[in-house]
Amino acid sequence: MTLGIFWVGQQTQLNQLARADRDLSWLHFVFLAVITVLPFSTRLLAEFFQFRTAFVIYWANILLAGVALYAGWSYASRNDLVRDPSPEVTKAILRRVVIAQGLYAIGLIAGLFHVEAGIALIILVQLNYAVAPKLPWLSKL
């Protein structure tokens, strides 16, 4: 589910591009490099479910993926690579990444006290982004 959410996020950004340049390609390569570590961090968490260190490593992997998505979109919008350069589109995409990462951070804080609670919160965040419910207050996240 985590891979799918980030895949959709990257595809949403790619669909908004008019063109790309070498630097943007490298930023997307960094994103893909971070994503390739996700199965390892997920397996680590599964093997050491009770350990905060495994949980923090998993969360850090999610954080880095979000940072890479944010960096790619920021770069594309600053360098006129976006098809619709309206501030609303740019802000909407960046806001979605920031809100998601903020919600994941809440999961991290909970997980520092109780790993299972942190994992549960992260799963709830992921379910929200995967299912994308049409509830007014959740659709803005």
Reference 122, options 57, 69, 70; nearest CA is 57
* Contact partners, residue 75, CB within 8 Å, separation at least 6: 23, 24, 27, 81
For residues 56-74, average pLDDT: 96
pLDDT value at residue 75: 96
pTM: 0.87
21-44 pLDDT, tens per residue? 999 999 999 999 999 999 999 999
Residue 52: exposed, middle, or buried by beta-carbon count in 10 A (0-12, 13-18, 19+)?
middle
pLDDT value at residue 134: 65
For residues 102-129, average pLDDT: 94
For residues 65-94, average pLDDT: 91
pLDDT value at residue 86: 84
Q: How far is it, in rounded angstroms, from Cα 87 to Cα 74?
A: 12
